[in-house]
Chain A
Amino acid sequence: MTLQSVELIRKRVAERPAELAEARTNGQKVVGWQGYNLPEELIYALGLIPVRIGAGGDDRLVEIGARYISTKNCVYVRETVGLFAENKDPIVQNTDFLAFDATCLQTYRTAEILEYYFNKEVVVLGVPRNFYWPEAQVYFTKEVEHFTGRLEELSGARLDHDKLAETIELYNRIRGAIVEIYEYQAERERLISWEETYDIIHAGYVLDRKEYLRMLEGTLRELQEAQGRPAPEEEDEARIFISGSVIPPGDKKLIHIINAVGGRIVGDDLWSGLIPYLDVHIGENTVEGVALAYINRTPHGALPYLELETDKRIKRLKELVKNYKAHGVIYHTLRYCDPYSFKAKETKDVLAAEGIPLLEIHTEYSGSDYEAIRTRIEAFVEMLKIRNFETLRN
C-alpha cells in the first residue's frame, strides 16, 4: 500500500510546472541543471530555482535528439537534446538558463548542443579527472568560484554567506532524510518500496527544496508510525542491487522487468539514485567548502581512477551491497555509455571475488529488447533464489 506522503509528493510534482511558470512571471529565474559534481546549493543560495533536467525511456525523443547530437551517443543525452528540440516538456519550457558540469563528456557536449541549436544560455563547470590530486582540488575550487560568479551575473544577485549557510543546512537535512528513507525501503517489512523511494528522489529534482524537506520528513514520520506492521508473506528470495548507468525519471523498463519476474530491488549506487546524497561533508559554509565536499564524494564512473584497490566507487558499491543485504547486482549499461560499459567486466570480476553475482544488462530505450532482457533477468532471479534456498538448506 502506497504511503499517503508518497501520494502527496507525486501530486505536488504534477502541480510543479504551473508553479514554476508563475514564479517566472513574478521575476524569479529557473535554472535547469545536469551533472554530478555541480553543487545545487549554490544555485539555490542565489535565489534561483534549481530543477534537475533530463529524462529517459522515450524512444521518440531519442530519435529527435539524435538529429542534433548523434546515434553514437547514449540515449540519455539524446533524449535530453530531444526534450529541448521538441520543447513541450513543461519543466524544460520553464528554464531560463542551464548549468552543466563536465563530469560526463557526453553531457558536456550536450550543453554545447543546447546552446548552439536552441539558443540556451549554458553555464559550464569544469571537473578534473585526476580529482584526488590536491592540485585538482584547487582547480575545481576555482572552477566552482568562477561558476558562482557566472550565476551571480545571470541572477543579478550576490552570494550571501548567511544564505549559503542556511542552504547548506537545508540540503544536509534533505540528504540525511533520503538516506534514512533508503534504509526503510530495504527492510524486510516493505513499508516503502525502492520504486517509491526512487520516485521520491526524482521529485526532489523539481520541487521547491523547503517543501521537499517537509515532505521527506512527513514520509519518515509515516514510516516510523507504520513500524511493527506485520511483514508481507512473500519472502525476500532475490534482493537485487542496481549499479551502472543512469536510470532517469521515465525509464522504467528494467525496473518493471525485475519486479515482473519476482526480483526485489533493495538499493542502488546510481547517479540518478542514492549515490549523490552520500558522503557530502561540507566542512566550511563557503564556496570552497562546498566545492571540496562535492569533489571528495564517491566519484562518478566518468572520472577515471587508476588504482583498483583504492577506488572509492568500488569500495562504496561493495559496502552498499552488503548494507542492503543484496543477493546479486544487476549492472545496467546504456548503449554508448562508455564510463559504465567499460567497467562492466571489471566490476563483475571484483564482485565475483566477494561471492556476489552480477548480471550486465546493456540496453537503450526502445522496447525491442524487452523480452530478451526479461529472459536474462528471469534466469538471474531464479539463480539467486536457488542459491538462497541451497544456502538455507545447508
Chain B
Amino acid sequence: MAINQDLFHYPEAAKELFIRTEDITFRDGTRVSAEEIWEFLTKEAPVRFPHAFDNGRYNRNRISGDIALPYSLKDEYLSLTFNDRMLKAKQKGIPVAFVQGGQCVDPYYAAGAIALRPASVNQWAACQREGVTFTQAQVLREDDKERASQSISFEVCNTAGYEYIQEGSLPVDMIAPYSCLRCSDVSYSLEAHRHGKRQDVKLFLGDFPMADQKNKEWAVEYFAENIKRLIRSIDELTGRETTEEDLRKEIILHNEGRRLSREIAELWWAPDTPPTNGKDRRAILQMGGMEVHGDPEASLCVLREGKRFIEERVRKGVKGHGLIDKPARIFLCGSCVFPSDYRIEEGGGVIVGTDNHWSNISTLVEETGDPYYNLAKATLSYPYEQNVYERAKWTAEQIRKSRADGVLFMYNWGCNTQSAMARMLCDEIKKLVNVPTLIIEHEFQASQSEQLLNRVSAFVEML
C-alpha cells in the first residue's frame, strides 16, 4: 500500500538567487558549486532521502522552507551528503572519531581525524538508508536504539554510537569523547564498547576533571595531558606526528567559527522579530562548533556567507520565515534536546538561544602560548560545566542578551546529570532574571508527542 507523504519541494523560482551564491570549499580542497547543490537538493536528494523532505507537523527536523536563505539550503546539503562525504574521507584513510556533543573538536582535526558528535553519527547512519519515508526512518531508528539498549542497558540515553559502530555498519575508528559533566552516559557507553564485536575500534576517554576545575592549575595541566594523549592516539591511526603548530593553526581556524557564531548571535538577537526562524538560527549558530558537518572548512564557508545574509536581513528588517511579529522569546536549557521549533512558532513563540552547544562555542581559546594548555584552560571554563551559580550566572547573561521572556529546561529520559540540575538551575535563573521557567522530560525522537508539544505550546501561550 502506498503511503501518501506530504513532501517539501524547493520551488524553481528560488533557483536563480541561490545559484548565484558561493561555492562550498571542503577540507580536502574540493568544491561544490551552488548550482550543484541546487541540483542535489531538488533532484537527487528527494529520491534518496524522502524522509528528510517530510513536511508533516510532527517532523521537528523538517526543511526550513526559508528558501531565500542560502545557508539553510547549504546546511541541508551538508547534512544529506553525510554518508557520501564520510565514505569518501574513509577511502582517503582519514580516521573518524566519535566525540561528546558540546565539546570543542580542535585537537581531533589538528591530528587529521574527523570528529563526529552523537547527532552527526545518527545523521550519517540515517543517510545510509535510502528511499525510506519519515515514519520508516523513525521505526528503523527505534530498532537501532533497541539494539543498543539490549547490549548496554534500557536506561541508556547516550549510547556512544554503540548501535551503529558495534552492532551496525558505521566504520568509525575511534570512540574518544570528553567525560564532561553534561552527560555521564557517554563515559559508561564508551566503556561498553570494550565488550562489543568490533575490537579494532580504539577507545579513549578525555578525562574532564570536575570540581572548580578551571581554577585549579593541576586540573588544567592534567586535562592538557589528556589532549596530548588524545592526539598521540589519533597519530597512531594516521601514522603521522601532529605538532604544536598543527594544533595552534587548528585553534585559530576554530576560533574564527566561534567568533562568527558569537557575532551572528548578537545580530540575530537585536530585532524584536528575529531574522530567521528557530531552525535556521540553530543551524547557523551551531556551525560555530565546527563539528556539525564533519568538515570545519565547509562549515566555515557557510558560516561566513550566512553572516552576510543575517546582517542584510537585520538591516532591512526582514522577518524570519513563519514567525509572527514580536514572538514570545524562549531560551532553551539542557543537553541534546530539541523541541519542535515549528510548533513553537505556530503558537507565537520562537527559541532564541540554548545553553548547550553554545557554552563551548562562546568560549574562545587563547591563540598564543602553549596550545595544549590554552585548549585545556578554555575547555575547563565552559560555563555549562561549572557549578550551579556560575552556570546560572552565564545563562542569565545569555537570557538578557537574547531578550528571552521565558526558559524551557528539557532533559532526555535517562539523562541523570542534566535532570539533577534542572530544578536547581531554574530556581537560580529565576532569582537572577525573574523569568518564568518550565521543566520538561523529553523522549529523544525526531517526531514529538502531542503531549509534549501541548505543554510547550501552553508555556508559549502563557508568555
Which residues of A pack against B, CB within 8 Å? 67-74, 77, 102, 105-106, 108-110, 112-113, 116-117, 124-126, 128-130, 133, 135-136, 138-139, 142-143, 146, 304-308, 335-336, 338-339, 341-346, 349
The answer to whether B216 touches A146, judged by C-beta atoms less than 8 angstroms apart, is yes
10 residue pairs from A and B, CB less than 8 Å apart: A71-B419, A73-B416, A117-B424, A126-B219, A304-B188, A336-B155, A336-B414, A343-B192, A346-B192, A346-B194
The answer to whether B179 touches A72, judged by C-beta atoms less than 8 angstroms apart, is no
Decide: A109 near B417, CB < 8 A? Known: A117-B424, A136-B222. yes
B19 at the interface (CB under 8 A from A): no
The answer to whether B187 touches A304, judged by C-beta atoms less than 8 angstroms apart, is yes
B128 at the interface (CB under 8 A from A): no
Which residue of the partner chain, among A109, A117, A306, A308, contacts B205 with CB atoms under 8 Å?
Answer: A306
Residues of B within 8 A of A125 (CB): 211
Contacts of B387-413 to chain A: CB distance below 8 A: 387-388, 411, 413
The answer to whether B155 touches A129, judged by C-beta atoms less than 8 angstroms apart, is no
Decide: A105 near B194, CB < 8 A? Known: A68-B424, A139-B222. no
B381 at the interface (CB under 8 A from A): no
**8 extra interchain contacts, Cβ-Cβ under 8 A, other than A143-B218, A306-B205?**
A109-B417, A129-B187, A129-B205, A135-B222, A139-B219, A143-B216, A308-B195, A338-B416
The answer to whether A306 touches B411, judged by C-beta atoms less than 8 angstroms apart, is no
Interface membership of chain B positions 167-199, coded 1 if the CB is closer than 8 angstroms to chain A and 0 otherwise: 000000000000101001101111110110000
Residues of B within 8 A of A124 (CB): 211-212
Which residues of B pack against A, CB within 8 Å? 150-153, 155-156, 179, 181, 184-185, 187-192, 194-195, 203-205, 207-213, 216, 218-219, 221-222, 225-226, 229, 387-388, 411, 413-417, 419-424, 427-428, 441
The answer to whether B151 touches A345, judged by C-beta atoms less than 8 angstroms apart, is yes
The answer to whether B155 touches A128, judged by C-beta atoms less than 8 angstroms apart, is no
Bound-complex Cα distance A146 to B4 (A):
65
Residues of B within 8 A of A105 (CB): 181, 184, 210, 416-417
The answer to whether A342 touches B219, judged by C-beta atoms less than 8 angstroms apart, is no
Residues of A within 8 A of B156 (CB): 338, 342
- The 5 tightest CB contacts between A and B, nearest first, are A70-B419, A139-B222, A142-B218, A72-B419, A304-B191
The answer to whether B209 touches A128, judged by C-beta atoms less than 8 angstroms apart, is yes
Residues of A within 8 A of B213 (CB): 126
Bound-complex Cα distance A392 to B208 (A):
52
The answer to whether B184 touches A338, judged by C-beta atoms less than 8 angstroms apart, is yes
Chain B residue, CB-CB nearest to A335: B155
The answer to whether A139 touches B415, judged by C-beta atoms less than 8 angstroms apart, is no
Residues of B within 8 A of A69 (CB): 419-420, 423
Nearest-Cβ distance from residue A222 to partner chain B, whole angstroms: 43
The answer to whether A70 touches B422, judged by C-beta atoms less than 8 angstroms apart, is yes
Bound-complex Cα distance A318 to B226 (A):
31
Bound-complex Cα distance A42 to B195 (A):
38
Bound-complex Cα distance A108 to B184 (A):
11
The answer to whether A108 touches B210, judged by C-beta atoms less than 8 angstroms apart, is yes
Residues of A within 8 A of B190 (CB): 304, 306
The answer to whether A349 touches B417, judged by C-beta atoms less than 8 angstroms apart, is no
Nearest-Cβ distance from residue B166 to partner chain A, whole angstroms: 12
The answer to whether A126 touches B424, judged by C-beta atoms less than 8 angstroms apart, is no
Nearest-Cβ distance from residue A333 to partner chain B, whole angstroms: 8
Nearest-Cβ distance from residue A54 to partner chain B, whole angstroms: 16
Nearest-Cβ distance from residue A233 to partner chain B, whole angstroms: 42
Bound-complex Cα distance A125 to B221 (A):
17
Chain B residue, CB-CB nearest to A77: B420
Residues of A within 8 A of B207 (CB): 128-130, 133, 136
Chain A residue, CB-CB nearest to B413: A72
The answer to whether A139 touches B422, judged by C-beta atoms less than 8 angstroms apart, is no
Bound-complex Cα distance A349 to B417 (A):
29
Residues of A within 8 A of B210 (CB): 102, 105, 108, 126
Bound-complex Cα distance A233 to B195 (A):
43
Which residue of the partner chain, among A72, A102, A116, A130, contacts B416 with CB atoms under 8 Å?
Answer: A72
Bound-complex Cα distance A168 to B419 (A):
39
Nearest-Cβ distance from residue B391 to partner chain A, whole angstroms: 10
The answer to whether B211 touches A102, judged by C-beta atoms less than 8 angstroms apart, is yes
Nearest-Cβ distance from residue B208 to partner chain A, whole angstroms: 8
Which residue of the partner chain, among A67, A113, A128, A343, contacts B420 with CB atoms under 8 Å?
Answer: A113
Nearest-Cβ distance from residue B146 to partner chain A, whole angstroms: 14
Which has the most chain A C-beta neighbours within 10 Å: B179, B388, B424? Answer: B424
Chain A residue, CB-CB nearest to B389: A116
